[in-house]
Every structure is written in structure tokens, then in C-alpha cells.
Amino acid sequence: MNQAILTLAQTLESKQSAVLATVIEVSGASPAQVGAKLLLRADDTTAGTVGGGKLEEAILAECRKARAEGQPRIAHYVLAETGAEAIGTLCGGDVRVFIEPYNPPPKLVIVGGGHVGRPLKVMGETVGFEVIVVDVEPGRATVPELDAVALNEDSYVVLITTDHISDEAALRKVITSPARYIGMIGSRAKCQTIVEHLAVDGITEAQLSRVYAPIGLDLGGPTPQEIALAILAEIVAVRRGGSGQMRSHFA
């Protein structure tokens, strides 16, 4: 098996990101051959090759851009010293490369199972999240169970424990994390009280403004399944940049 493809499979298995570059078109003299593959991993190590030299350097630079933007693209390289898209070589050929980022699935962390957590887990998995359910012991001011959960910029945390003490403890744990979304269930009064507690203890206004509380879009449904749907709808809207508004123009 091609080394880049084998390494990509191993990288995805370990839930790490990577960018795969594949040469799709070559004309004229070039060190690259159609089908050659180069993989760039999150730690900037590589596997495979597209011929080395300045061409490979240019392709790796484009891979880093694709990794940052999360979008695939086709890159064109002219193997000449001067001119548009030239990379400073004398080969004289043209190369086109398909560059495709691969990212692990977004992570949905449900702190507290229960009636809402169960359907939320199923729904989250259905739309492509890696779902982690963290059960906590009610009434504790600490949540050591969260220590084992690694949160990143594509993590979405839902605090739906059975009591306000556990919710506050969990919020204290995740408020300084890089998680993209932190939502907490409960009444406005409860959520406001917890936020005030954290503010007194030095959590900044900017950090507290990241918390979605009360959690979920206002869909009007009172059942655990409908509440779970409202929570997931809000998370998807945050992740994809949606407004959460109805799209119909004929109401």
C-alpha cells in the first residue's frame, strides 16, 4: 500500500488531522508523477513524496493553508524560474495537485446522562459527532471524571447534570478550555446565579460570554427528545455559522 495512504489510515484511526496531496496532472518535465501522494500530519511530519525539492516545499506550504482553512483545493505549479505560479525551478513542466484536508469528527461531550443525554447521544452520533458521555456523582463540587476528556477547538460541551452544584463544578472545569461551545441546562435564574459565582471567583466576562445558557434553541418542545433536538440544533448552528431562524418566506 502507498505509504501516504497507509499513514493517513493510521492517523485517522488515532483521530488526528492530516492533509493529503495527490498529483492529478503533469505536463512536460517534472519530478512528480501522476498519482504521487504526500501526507502532512498535524505535527508537521510527512509521509510519501511528490518528488522532493522546491515542488514538494510549495505543495507542503499549500497543505498547511488547506489545514488552517479546512477546505480542499486544486493547486497549480509551473516549474519555471519566473512567471505566474512559478516555483523557481528549471524543469519547465506544469503540475496540478489535489489537496484534501482530513479532520477527526467533532467531539460532543455530554456531562450528565439521563433522560435528555440519552437521545442527545443518539442524535449526535447520527449527524457525525464523536459522542462522549461523562456521568457525574450528584452534589459534588468537583468533576474529576472530566479530567480524562481532551477538549479542542472542535469540541462541544453540554452540561446537563441532575443538580446545580454538579453543573457549576463542570462549568468551572471547562470554562477555560478551547471548546467551541459550552452550553448549560436550567432556568435563567439558575444559570445567572452560577455565572455570578464564577465571576466572583475571577472568571472573566469574555470567558463567561462563551456560555450558552439556558441551553438550546427555542423549539417549544417539552419532552426529553425535543429538548435534546433543541440542544443539538443550537450546536450545529454554532458549528456551521447558521442563524437558527426559520428559512421559509411563505409563513
Say if residue 18's pLDDT is above 90.
yes
Q: In this predicted structure, what is the pLDDT of residue 232?
A: 97
Which ranges of 138-249 does DSSP label H, i.e. alpha helix? 164-174, 188-200, 205-208, 224-240
Percentage of the residues of the chain whose pLDDT score is greater than 70: 96
Give the tens place of pLDDT for each residue, 71-105.
899 998 888 777 777 777 777 788 899 999 998 88
> How far is the C-alpha of 50 from the C-alpha of 30, rounded, in Å?
10
Can you spell out the DSSP letters for 126-176?
HTT-EEEEE---TT-S--GGGGG----TTEEEEE--SSHHHHHHHHHHHTT
Q: In this predicted structure, what is the pLDDT of residue 1?
A: 55
Say if residue 52's pLDDT is above 90.
no
Q: In this predicted structure, what is the pLDDT of residue 189?
A: 92
- Of the candidate ranges 19-23, 41-45, 161-165, 207-211, the one whose mean pLDDT is the lowest: 161-165
DSSP bridge partners of 89: none
Say if residue 247's pLDDT is above 90.
no
Give the tens place of pLDDT for each residue, 121-170.
999 999 999 999 988 777 666 677 788 888 888 999 999 987 888 888 88
Q: In this predicted structure, what is the pLDDT of residue 193?
A: 92
Residue bearing the bigger pLDDT, 64 or 247: 64
Q: Give the domains, in start order, of the chain with CATH numbers.
A: 3-102 (no CATH), 107-240 (3.40.50.720)
